[in-house]
Amino acid sequence: MAFQSYYLLRGAVRKSIALCVHSFSWRLIMNGSGRTRSRSAWGLAMMVGVTLLAGAPAATASSGDSAEGSSVSQGIRQAAGWNDCYNGEMCLFQHANGEGTIVYWLPNQYNGDFRTISCSACGGTFDNQATSWWNRTGQNFCVSDGYWGGNPDNTMPAGTSGNFTPDWNDRASSIGYQGCP
């Protein structure tokens, strides 16, 4: 979803820039005064700068580093069912059967402390809130009831989904993808 939004935004920015550049070129041809040409050239230079910025990758929210992986990042949104977990995402849901708030990660992302995930619908944070999952990535993920892993782990193999057992309901405090049992 984040990547889709990023590319849609880039496409819209490109179209706007193309229209502005076309407008500047037209004014340059239609009005031969030096003043208009210099403003057009300045405007064109600004549009080129915006184009370069639009081509830069979108930043993701992150919070710290760990030996476990290269990225601490996630997204959060409301879910109305399993289908709100998109292909390529590892999703944890607040309620059973893919309902409630959904927190998702892309491959090679993790979070060692769910207390850092703000969730107003969860009473403040997503810590100890996960009840179901869907792993739509090509790698295994595991949740732990301890911060930064450790303690018992619950592995969610690639391509699996389900509700956590009563022993694991509302226990997850961190998620990782390396060293899962």
Q: How confident is the model at residue 91 (pLDDT cuts 50, 70, 90)?
A: very high
Q: What local confidence, expressed as pLDDT, does residue 74 receive?
A: 86
Q: How far is CA 2 from CA 53, 86, 142, 146, 169, in A?
A: 18, 10, 22, 28, 28
Rg (CA), the chain: 23
pLDDT over 60 at 21, yes or no: no
Average pLDDT of the segment spanning 76-82? 92
Confidence of residue 62 (pLDDT cuts 50, 70, 90): very low
Q: What is the mean pLDDT of residues 120-139?
A: 96
Q: Does the structure show a pLDDT above 90 at 22? A: no
pLDDT of residue 77: 93
Chain-wide mean pLDDT for the chain?
Answer: 72
Decide if 127 contacts 146 (C-beta within 8 A).
no
User: Nearest Cα to 145, choosing from 124, 121, 129, 123?
Assistant: 129
User: Does the predicted model carry a pTM greater than 0.85?
Assistant: no
Q: What is the pLDDT of residue 127?
A: 97
Predicted local distance difference test score (pLDDT) of residue 72: 58
